[in-house]
Structure formats: C-alpha cells, structure tokens
Chain A
Amino acid sequence: QQPVQSPQAVILREGEDAVINCSSSKALYSVHWYRQKHGEAPVFLMILLKGGEQKGHEKISASFNEKKQQSSLYLTASQLSYSGTYFCGSGGVNTGFQKLVFGTGTRLLVSP
C-alpha cells in the first residue's frame, strides 16, 4: 500500500515554512525522504529509523512517529532551491534491502 502524502501541492514565498506529511496504512519501520526536480533524479534527503526520531539538515528536518505510522518533513525559511517534488519512501524491516514504497508525492514551488 502506497503511503499518502499531504498536501499534494504547496506554493510558498521564499522564506516561508512548510510541512509535508506522509501517512501509511501499514507499519512504518523506516522512512526515507527524497526530493526530485523536474527531469532529474530523486535526491536523498534523510532516513529516519526509529520511532520518534527527528533528524535535520540545515533548514530541513523530519520527524517519525512509528505508532501513528506517520512522518513529517519540515522546511524552514524556504529557499528557491527547495522547489521540486518531495517523496517519502517506506522501508521494510525484514526485507534486508532498500525495497522502498514511495508515497504519492508533494509538489513544492518556492517563488521569489
């Protein structure tokens, strides 16, 4: 079952904040976040492995609530370079490898 992301799309002005949510109907053991710009390869942002874990890189951070089977990506003081489509990917615990089931995607547009 594919994780559902919300919102489907968001438009921000540079400097504004955004939150992207990822919800799964199946248990989440790990959550991987990627950003993909049009016509380009998905680029890794971060992996969250434990329930309740939070990670961050510069002004992008994420949380993982294992019990609620949800993860959220937080973009603070957005930059033009943040524009793209964000995908969460759910990883299995016993697959032994990175068989990710990607979410529905969230399109983010940051304007000047």
Chain B
Amino acid sequence: GAGVSQSPRYKVAKRGQDVALRCDPISGHVSLFWYQQALGQGPEFLTYFQNEAQLDKSGLPSDRFFAERPEGSVSTLKIQRTQQEDSAVYLCASSSQGLNTEAFFGQGTRLTVV
C-alpha cells in the first residue's frame, strides 16, 4: 500500500478483555516496529521484527503483551487481560533494510481501557 495502515483506529476495551491491533506495513519493508505513545509523551519502543523474526522485544511492558509477524508482512500486537495503564496510542512503523533509515509510521490505534 501507499503507507503504513493500522486497524482499528480506535478501540475501547473493558478491563480484562483481550485486544488485537493490526499493522499493514509498506510493501517490501523488512523492518517493522511497534511503539506505545502515552498522551503528551514521545513514542516508546515496544518490539522490532526483521521479516518474520522478532529480534527485540525488550520494550514490551509485561507478558500480557505479545506481537507476531508470521509471514513477514502484516503484524499483530495482542494485549491480554487489558488494564487501565495500557490505555495509549499504539504506533506501528516500517522501514527498508538497513541501519539508520527513515521509518514510516502509521496513524496508530488509540486504545482506551475502561
């Protein structure tokens, strides 16, 4: 596609509910990243994929967070048993292979846990 696409744009979940957030990166982009952005803050790194391999998941806040990219394209970020502190915008970004290349961000999914 023309850009990084994320769905849904908005998600309201009841505390304890599981959610799944989808990211469609730019076609051909090897690298895919998930970031979490709290209100008024900068994005914080969650995890990184190179093709289908998850090479870094050091930013995932707890074992309730799980990400996958089984075929090296679309990625899903899953949050189990959501808590209020999970409320944030979840941004996905993709880039072509190589260090220090431009990352293209999606518009994000705004998750609100009530």
What residues of chain A have their CB less than 8 Å away from a CB belonging to chain B?
A: 2, 30, 32, 34, 39-44, 47, 49, 87, 89, 91, 95-105
Task: Report the count of interface residues on B (CB-CB < 8 A).
Answer: 27
Establish whether residues B42 and A41, one from each chain, have CB atoms under 8 Å apart when the complex forms.
no
Beyond the given pairs A34-B105, A44-B102, A102-B43, 4 more chain A to chain B contacts, judged by CB atoms under 8 angstroms and listed by A's residue number, are A32-B103, A39-B107, A87-B42, A104-B42
Closest Cβ–Cβ distance, residue B2 to chain A (whole Å): 13
The reply to whether A97 and B43 contact each other, CB–CB distance below 8 Å, is: no
A92 to B44, CA, bound (A): 15
Determine the chain B residues whose CB is within 8 A of the CB of A89 once the complex forms. Answer: 42
Q: List 28 A-B contacts (CB under 8 A).
A: A34-B105, A39-B107, A40-B107, A41-B105, A41-B106, A41-B107, A42-B91, A42-B105, A44-B103, A47-B100, A47-B102, A49-B100, A89-B42, A95-B99, A96-B55, A96-B99, A97-B99, A98-B33, A98-B93, A98-B99, A99-B33, A99-B45, A100-B103, A102-B35, A102-B42, A102-B43, A103-B42, A104-B41
B83 to chain A, nearest CB (A): 23
How many Cβ-Cβ contacts under 8 Å join chain A to chain B? 66
Binding site for A on B (CB under 8 A): 4, 31, 33, 35, 40-45, 48, 50, 55-56, 91, 93, 95, 99-108
**Taking CB as reference atom, which chain B residue is nearest A43?**
B105
CA distance A43 to B93 in the complex (A): 11
Knowing A87-B42, A103-B42 are in contact, say whether A98-B105 is a contact too (CB < 8 A).
no
B91/A98 in contact, CB under 8 A: no
Q: Which of B31, B33, B45, B56 contacts A101 (CB 8 A)?
A: B45
Q: Are A99 and B48 in contact (CB under 8 A)?
A: yes
Chain A residues lying within 8 Å of B93, measured Cβ to Cβ, are 98
What residues of A have a CB within 8 angstroms of the CB of B31 in the complex?
97-98
What is the bound-complex CA distance between A89 and B35, given in angstroms?
A: 13
Determine how close the nearest CB of chain B comes to the CB of A44; give it in whole angstroms. 5
State in angstroms the CA–CA spacing of A105 and B42 once bound together: 6
Q: Are B42 and A98 in contact (CB under 8 A)?
A: no
